Amino acid sequence: MARIAIDMDHVIADAHKGLLDWLSKTYAIEPSMLPGQRFKDVLSIDQHFALSKRLETAEFFFNLKPVVDSIETLKTLQNNHEVFITTAAMFVPNSFKAKYEWIKKHLPFFETKRIVFCGDKSIISADYLIDDHIHNFENFKGRGLLFSALHNELDTWPDRLSGWNDIGRFNF
């Protein structure tokens, strides 16, 4: 039975759609303007500041939609593996309660004891870490699986998952 740690933002909860919807509505910035780049690299200082303030609101996290096929695949994975949600909530302290409430709302089947709020994910003891940021694989003792996202399109990583269907088919 494999132990699988899965990031929340951009992997389970569709933070990209939430951010892109807000950027499109507020600044007319479209996804085609952002491939392979982080928001801070393409936004003006004022736009990035406004985006950072938006991320500090609990409302932002609570209102995110699940990534397509994430809920069904998580249910299936739990049948054969130890699955943990690992989110770096330390970077946005106002997100703790909203993230927890989001999980309870969208993943009521998920055991509370398998939710990990952390900063440095190298502390996670798992066979696999599914994450959208390569830096979270640094010093991680298991195998890092990069979940494709707009900001990592240009990153090179040997194990890339393009969506939840890839996760469901992966041989853990």
Q: Rounded to the nearest 10 degrees, what angle do helices 15-27 and 45-55 cross at?
A: 130
Q: What is the pLDDT of residue 6?
A: 98
pLDDT at 36: 66
How many separate domains does the chain show? 1
* Other CB atoms within 10 Å distance of the CB of residue 131: 28
Q: Indicate the pTM of the whole model.
A: 0.91
Per-residue pLDDT in tens (0 to 9) along the chain, 172 residues: 999 999 999 999 999 889 888 888 888 877 777 766 677 777 888 988 998 888 888 889 999 999 999 999 999 999 999 999 999 888 888 888 999 999 999 999 999 999 999 989 999 999 999 999 999 999 999 999 999 998 888 899 999 999 999 999 999 9
Assess whether 21 carries a catalytic annotation: no
Q: Find out whether 90 and 117 touch, Cβ atoms under 8 Å.
A: yes
Exactly one of 9, 14, 131, 132 is catalytic; name it: 9
What CA–CA distances, in Å, run from 105 to 100, 102, 109?
9, 5, 10
Catalytic choice (7, 14, 131, 132): 7
Tokens of 172: 């853990």
* 9 classed as catalytic: yes
pLDDT of amino acid 145: 98
Range of the domain at 95: 1-172
pLDDT at residue 68, as a whole number: 96
Side-chain half-sphere CA neighbours of 134 within 13 A:
12
Q: How far apart are the first and last CA of the chain?
A: 8
Contact (Cβ atoms closer than 8 angstroms) between residue 20 and residue 31 = yes
Task: Supply the pLDDT for residue 72.
Answer: 97
CA distance 138 to 154: 18
In this structure, the dihedral spanned by the alpha carbons of residues 140, 141, 145 and 148, taken in order and rounded to 10 degrees, is 10
Q: Diameter of the chain by CA atoms? A: 48
User: Would you state the pLDDT for residue 112?
Assistant: 95
| Strand bridging mode 3-7 / 82-87 | parallel
Q: Any idea what the CATH number is for the domain that residue 7 is in?
A: 3.40.50.1000
Look at residue 122 in the predicted model and tell me its pLDDT.
92
Q: Give the model's pLDDT for residue 40.
A: 75
